[in-house]
A = this chain, B = another copy of it.
Amino acid sequence: MLKGTLQTIILKLLEDNSQMYGYEITQKVKEVTAGEFILTEGALYPALHKLEADGMLETFTEVVDSRVRKYYRLTEQGGKEVTDKLNEAQVFIEQLQLLLNLKPAVK
C-alpha cells in the first residue's frame, strides 16, 4: 500500500546521521526496532543504488581494517525528498489507523 517505505527509512536515517554505510544501516534498523525489522542485503543494496541513481544520495568509500566501506550521504535533493516522504508516511499511517480502528475515536 505504501510504496517506498524502505526508501523513506533510509533517507530518514541519513538525515539523522549524515553519513552511514550499508551494513551500518541494517544494524541500526535492527537495533531501533529491537530486532523486529530485519533489513536484508537483497532489499537494502538495490534500494541504495536506486536512491543514488535518482540523485538522492551520494557516496564515498573508506577502508577500515582492510575492509571497504561505502558511505552514503544525502544530496540537496535528497534532503528535500525526506520531508516529502515523511509527510506521506505520516498520512499513510493515520489513514491506516483509521481503517483498522487502531486509534480509538476521540470523544
Q: Known pairs A1-B2, A33-B95. 7 more at Cβ < 8 A?
A: A1-B6, A16-B101, A29-B99, A32-B95, A32-B99, A90-B102, A93-B96
Q: How many residues of A contact B (CB 8 A)?
A: 27
- Report if A100 contacts B (CB, 8 A): yes
How many copies of the chain does the oligomer comprise? 2
A12 touches B95 (CB 8 A): no
Contact with B along A1-44 (1 / 0, CB 8 A): 11001101100110010000000000001001100110000000
A89 touches B102 (CB 8 A): yes
A12 cross-chain contacts in B, Cβ below 8 A: 99-101
A36 touches B91 (CB 8 A): yes
